[in-house]
Structure 1
Amino acid sequence: MTAPFGADVVAAVCRHMNDDHAGDSLLICRTLGGQPAATRARATGLDAEGMEFAVTVDDIEVPVRVPFAHRLTERAQIRQEVVRMYREACQRSGLPPRPAG
């Protein structure tokens, strides 16, 4: 099976997450990625099934993979799924999500 997202799409999504949503990535990795002690998270990749991060825990960088709720087949679904993960992470941690915008 061929991956639905090319290297250019993966790089653009990771760059956007790291530049504009680093805090969201950290929250996702702490709650959905099973790394509650993480102090930093950096998006490193994604495929149709999930997103990959490099997470810093106790000054050591470890890989974390957070699965998507369902298999993605189109680029537009990536944003929807990351927003879903962010909202789920907020709910699990008791934080109010930012308003959509």
Structure 2
Amino acid sequence: MKLPFAARLLAVAMLATTAAALPVSSAFAESPEKPKVALVMKSLANEFFLTMEDGAKAYQKEHSADFDLVSNGIKDETDTANQIRIVEQMIVSKVDALVIAPA
């Protein structure tokens, strides 16, 4: 399956973000858990962001041993309060990297 340019760009951005966000401490090296990457999108009603999510999920599926992906988004592009709530939930759940398409 050939992904659109935007989806491939997102996949590369997610990988770069994950690599940059991983701590280089010995405590992390001893941890058997995979890093968790959260993708918080602007609007799930917009085809662009659905393509972005599909690309991220396809990339994660190919690299499932490297990281876990949690994706979420708001229904309306102007619902900033709900997007902030989702971001706060991801922080509380202690994701290792947070990729946001801000509203």
Whichever of the two has the greater Rg, that structure is 2
| Bigger share in helix | 2
| Alignment TM-score, normalising by the size of structure 2 | 0.34
Task: Tell me the TM-score normalized by structure 1.
Answer: 0.35
| Structure whose residues are more often strand by fraction | 1
- Choose between structure 1 and 2 for higher RCO, CA contacts under 8 A separated by at least 6 residues: 2
